[in-house]
Amino acid sequence: MLILGIETSCDETAASVVKNGREILSNVVSSSLKYHKKFGGVIPEIATRHHVENIDKVVNCSLYNAGVGTGDIDSVAVTEGPGLVGALVCGNSFAKAMAYSLDVPLVTVDHLKAHVYSAMMRKDAPRFPFIGLVVSGGHTRLYLVKGYDKFIVLGDTLDDAIGEAYDKVAKILGLEYPGGPIIDRIAKKGSRSIRFTCRPIKGSLDFSFSGVKTAVLYHVKGEGCPSTSLGTGRVKGEISNIAASFQESALKVIVNNTLKAMEQHNLKTLVIGGGVSANSRFREMLAREAMFRGLKIFFPPLELCSDNAAMVAGLAYRLQGEGKC
């Protein structure tokens, strides 16, 4: 069965053709990222215009790359949310019109569940139940996952999501948007010695990262470290230390909450998705825990960590199989 997936929840216009929920025949992503850079964050109006202007080209390109025509498509899948409202309206209108004109079913997919599914698109896919973790620009969320559409939220974002915290800390340090990949890179050269407090929420698996972001801001102000330039070698070193220390504090809370959730539910399998799941230090920390505790951890391949439509088409196949459309 061939499913055409469409994703337009934020700044990526994406389309993908996936066979039987796992075999990715095409995966096209057109990002409006470069138009947002100078604002230091995603501007919804710009993202929506990019979707409107590019969605037909992206869909055509994904069909072409897959070597199929519209007549070969069995279903159309689309991200229903969460996301920017104008951006979602564009993708959903396009997908609905396409499904109607081709006379095939339309499957709507939750963006966060699709992120978890991105780590399941492999032969040795994890078995239910497991703990699911989404670490993205908009969410930090822990799930107990019992089936393709049986997700129970165990812990959630209370203020800034982890990706948002990375992006805001990068801005404080005078780095480009999105800051996550840059912090990941420069942190490798830094020391983790600065103590930025990032406390877990007592008696809960929820997440709060606004405090650690503010701690970085005060540290930078207090140190008189210039916030607009990487400047001299000395300052460059300081920025790497701040980046390494910030991510260590924030990621530790995510790792600890996740381990707690696994213990509470007596589960040894963890499935992770979202932009921050590409982070090299995060992968290192979790690999270490997996080794000591005998856990099985499933990450998406790097090209499926950030927003894409392959995960949408893939999950849609499973939902259709369960009669959820």
State in angstroms the smallest separation of the CB of 276 from ligand KG4.
Answer: 4
Q: Which does 155 bind (CB under 5 to 8 A by kind): Zn ion, ligand KG4, none?
A: none
Closer by beta carbon to ligand KG4, 21 or else 275: 275
Interface with ligand KG4, residue 14, by CB under 6 A: no
Say which residue the tokens 């369960």 belong to.
322
Interface with ligand KG4, residue 10, by CB under 6 A: yes
Phi/psi of residue 188, nearest 5 degrees: -65, -25
Q: Which of 5, 21, 132, 138 contacts ligand KG4 by CB under 6 A?
A: 138
Under 8 Å between Cβ of 16 and 62: yes
State in angstroms the smallest separation of the CB of 44 from Zn ion.
Answer: 15
Under 8 Å between Cβ of 223 and 138: no
State in angstroms the smallest separation of the CB of 166 from Zn ion.
Answer: 14
Q: Which of 126, 137, 190, 314 contacts ligand KG4 by CB under 6 A?
A: 137
Interface with Zn ion, residue 248, by CB under 5 A: no
Interface with ligand KG4, residue 5, by CB under 6 A: no
Give the count of beta carbons closer than 10 Å to the beta carbon of residue 273: 27
Closer by beta carbon to ligand KG4, 99 or else 251: 251
Interface with ligand KG4, residue 274, by CB under 6 A: yes
Interface with Zn ion, residue 307, by CB under 5 A: yes
Provide the sign of the torsion angle of the four alpha carbons 260, 266, 268, 273, taken in this order: negative
Alpha-carbon span 264 to 208, nearest angstrom:
21
Interaction with ligand KG4 in 170-209: which residues (CB under 6 A)? 178-181, 184
Per-residue buried b or exposed e for 44-73, using 16+ beta carbons within 10 Å of the residue's own CB: eeebbbbbbebbeebbeebbeebebeeeeb
Interface with ligand KG4, residue 30, by CB under 6 A: no
Which residues on neighbouring strands pair with residue 157, listed in sequence order?
A: 207
